[in-house]
Amino acid sequence: MQNRNNRKFTKKQGAILVSSLCLVVAAGFATFYTMDTVQKEKQESLEQAQKNAEIKAQEAKERQEAQEELAKAETEESAKLVSADDAQAELEGESADILANETDAEVSGLTAKETEEEVEDAASGQVQAEITTISPTVNYDDSTPLTWPVAGTLLMDYSMNSTVYFQTLDQYKYNPALIIGSEVGNQVIASAKGIVESVTVEDETGTTITLNLGNNYELVYGQLKEVTVKEGDVVEAGALLGYVSEPTKYYCEEGSNLFFEMKKDGEPVDPFLYME
């Protein structure tokens, strides 16, 4: 009986022990499962956090790149604006330089013109002063004989009282001068001291010099070339005035000659009356 009870007790204890072991094992499995689940959840949380961090880093990088692109675009736009401003400023500067140069040119031209006018006025004043100074010494009178003006022979005499025949023109007319036949190239000299009043070119007498002797006396030399004097020059008696030229169409038949006229008070007079 006792042994039966002991076996029952032993079986009961074994069952309890087995149950306890099952509980322990179950608890261990439960604990292991729980720890594994927690570990997995923790690992997943870490991985998710890492992914979130990577996503945020990528977003931050993209924002940075976007900001850099925007800044670059703004810089390029600013550079274009600066270039445009520089081009405009350069254009304005060139325009200003051109205007300044034109203004300077106008001022220079005006200054040059004023200077030229001043020089001309000064020269004119100087010539006038010379004439004024010299005029008293140009004082021709009847007692001063004229020098023969060119080497040659008399072709036609002075004639204002009656007409004379002009062969080239084939007509008779008055002759206010001496027509002195002379070879082309012969020297023509001043017959008295005077001031060159004019050097002109006339149809009948060609290149012509008018010499003011003073006291309303004038000498006119026609059919000249290579004139050696100019208006305003003061020449002494015997000074070279030029050379005998080929005759004009008015004196073709008469040949080369010097047209030599003398005037008093603007009217022709006979030069022979004043010759030596």
**Residue 264: predicted pLDDT:** 96
Are the C-beta atoms of residues 148 and 183 closer than 8 Å to each other?
A: no
**205: number of Cβ within 10 Å:** 22
Identify the pLDDT of residue 38.
57
pLDDT in the model for residue 141: 87
- Residue 158 near residue 268, CB atoms below 8 Å: yes
d(CA 237, CA 190): 5
Mean pLDDT by 10 residues, the chain (276 residues): 56 63 61 62 68 71 77 71 61 61 54 57 54 62 91 96 95 96 97 97 97 96 97 96 97 97 97 91
Which tokens sit at 186? 């012969």
Q: 45 phi and psi, to 5 degrees?
A: -60, -40
**pLDDT score, position 134:** 43
Provide the pLDDT for residue 73: 73
| Bridge partner residues of 259 (DSSP) | 179, 222
In angstroms, the CA 147 to CA 276 distance is 7
Question: For every residue of the chain, which 3-state class applies, written as one string?
Answer: CHHHHHHHHHHHHHHHHHHHHHHHHHHHHHHHHHHHHHHHHHHHHHHHHHHHHHHHHHHHHHHHHHHHHHHHHHHHHHHHHHHHHHHHHHHHHHHHHHHHHHHHHHHHHHHHHHHHHHHHHHHHHHHHHHHHHHHHHCCCCCCCCECCCECCEEEECCEEEEEEEECCCCEEEEECCEEEECCCCCEEECCCCEEEEEEEEECCCEEEEEEEEECCEEEEEEEEECCCCCCCCEECCCCEEEEECCCCHHHCCCCCEEEEEEEECCEEECHHHHEC
